[in-house]
Each structure stands twice: as structure tokens, then as C-alpha cells.
Amino acid sequence: MLESKLPKVGTTIFQVMSQMALDYQAINLSQGFPDFDCPEELRRLVSHYMNIGKNQYPPMIGIPQLREQITRKVKDLYDCTVDMDQDVTVVSGATEALFAAIHAVVRPGDEVIVFDPAYDSYDPAITLAGGKAVHLSLTAPDFQIDWQKVEDSLTEKTRLIFLNTPHNPTGNVLNSEDMKTLASLVKGTEILILSDEVYEHIIFDGVRHESILRHQALASRAFVVSSFGKTYHATGWKVGYCIAPAALSTEFRKIHQFLTFTTVPFLQYALADFMEQCPEHHLNLSSFYQAKRDLFCDLLKESRFKFKPAGGTYFQLLDYSEITNMEDTEYANLLTKESQIASIPISVFYETKPDDHILRFCFAKDDNTLEEAAEILRKI
């Protein structure tokens, strides 16, 4: 009989809740994708490049035009100079990049620090590499990293620290003090950083995204992962990139070439043109999504749910402790079946489930959808 390499892993909660939303004709605020389309000009560029024959294998590391635009963006936003040929790799989605980075550097017996609640692809990738995920819990309602706990958890086996900012599912955002503390903890060690920054352009209230790339001491030992899908409302395209120093990128690419090898060419050409021609899209994305966050939160002020407006991402946590003591998985199922609104229970992203009563709702939706969803939630 086949022995599973991931015996604790079942179908991802995102697929489970999205399927339930379909089955019960519920408003789907569970899985993190917009219910509106990507920009019209970007779609036109995709069609153009597909129709003129950009349909064969592109370079394994990504087309030069797109890698050049990425280097320009990180220079403009983070004052970070990277080499487009040695440091930038285009990948088939951020999940692939995270997997490739982990397998590039984690060896059997290595430890990787992960902050719970953690996106569900992190732990399985670490396990498959033979590593051990060391889970440190973030505590509601602020979900701040306790750096003393981090320091206490470092051992000679610690290979990697996994960051995610803005953080999914909590919406928490790391600041410059967090980065300074992290830099002091890893100074003089061989510990590497893997920074999941797919929501880099979705951050609110005038707060600056504190990318690892802003901090040379950290950038020199880090993989930084981002997503075009999140930025351009095209999650199904599964296109992202990884920035890392040449030595790390070399090892990263050894894994990448045997995972997907390359990424859809006409999408790359279209993205390169759109980044050059329409930089206002990513520059204005925070204000676009803050308007949706504010609308959703304003509509819920008279509800029985408690919440702190998200600092980033397009997810809002709602505390239902004044409504019921049900476990979050049970309550999420109940809301989907009886109230026709689907969410994500955040306990599934913890190694040790907390006692919190919190669900995650996606507000990357048309305003009418948000108004309809809020009306349902206000009646609960």
C-alpha cells in the first residue's frame, strides 16, 4: 500500500469552501480572487502577443523585457538595485516560487521558522524538502511577531525564516523596526530569509510596504517573492517572480527548471508592456482596495461581528465570539449552508488551533457584492 509523503494533508481549504459556495449558491468571500476582471488594456496586450505568435518556449528565467521592468520597479519603489539576469526569475505563480526557494536551500533536518496562521502551502513544501517547520503563533487581535520568541527558537539547525507581509490571512503589516530586529537576530549567522510579498501593493492608511529589498543586510540573504496575479486582478494566470542574490538565484533556478521550466510567453510580453505603459495601476492599487476595505467595514459597523480594519491584503478578519461559541470550521460551514456566504476559518492555518472565533472574508469584490454580503452579515 502506498505510504503518503504528506499524510496530514487533505484538499486545501480554499477549494473546499469555494466548492461549498457553489453547492449552496453562496456569495464566495472565501477564496482570494476578484469577481472583476483585469484591466482592459492588459487583456488587449495579451491577445496581441498571442496572435502575433508569442506562443513557444520563452527563456527559462523569463523574457528580458519583463525582468527589466521588474528591476526598474524595485529600484523606483524600494531603492534596490538588482541584476535582471542574475537576480530575477519569472515563475508560474508565487506558490511555485515559494516551493522552489525552500527546496533550493532546505536540507533534511533543517528547521524553518513559520508564523501561524500561515498560508497552507508553506508547511508541506518544508516537509517534502525534509525540513522541520517550527511554528510560532501570532496572537489576536494584533497578530504581531514576538521577536523574543523568535530569538528563543533559533538553533544551530535553523536554516530559514519565513516572512509574509502584508500577511495573509490576518492583514498585519511588518514595519521598519521589525526589519531592524530581524537583521540583528540573523547577523553573523547563515540563516536565510524567504519573504512572501505577494500583497506588496495592497497596503493601507498611508503605511509604507517594508519590503526586505529596502534592507540590504536582509536582501543579501533573502528570496523575495511577488505575484502579478494579485497586482493585476488575474490570479488564474499564475505568474509571479522571485528576486534573490545571484548565488541563491542559481540554486533557485535549478529547482525551477524542473518544476515548470518556464511561464506562458504571451502573458509575460503583455505584463512587460503594461508595467511600462501603466505604472499608475500598481501605484494606485492600495487606494483602490482601501476604498473596498472601508466600504466593507463601514457596512459592518452595526453588525455583531468585531473587527480591526486590515492593514493590508484584500482580506478582513471578523470575530464572531459575540454570536456563537462554535469552532470556526463549523461556523464557516453553517454560514455557507444557511446564510449563503462563504468565508475561511483561520484555525486551519495553525499547527496548534487557537481558541479564537475568527473568520477571513475576501473584499476583492464588486461593491454590489460587498453590499449584498454585508446585508447578510448584519442580519446574523
> Which domains are assigned to the chain?
13-31+284-378 (3.90.1150.10), 40-281 (3.40.640.10)
Instruction: Tell me what pLDDT residue 326 has.
Output: 95
pTM value > 0.85: yes
State yes or no: pLDDT of 1 exceeds 80: no
Instruction: Tell me what pLDDT residue 354 has.
Output: 87
Per-residue pLDDT tens digits for 127-177: 999 999 999 999 888 999 999 999 999 999 999 999 999 999 999 999 999
Number of other residues whose CB lies within 10 A of the CB of residue 49 = 21
State yes or no: pLDDT of 254 exceeds 80: yes
Q: Mean of the pLDDT values across residues 28-54? A: 97
- Give exposure, 104-117, as e/b (b: 16+ Cβ within 10 Å): bbbeeebbbbbbbb
Per-residue pLDDT tens digits for 181-223: 999 999 999 999 999 999 999 999 999 999 999 999 999 999 9
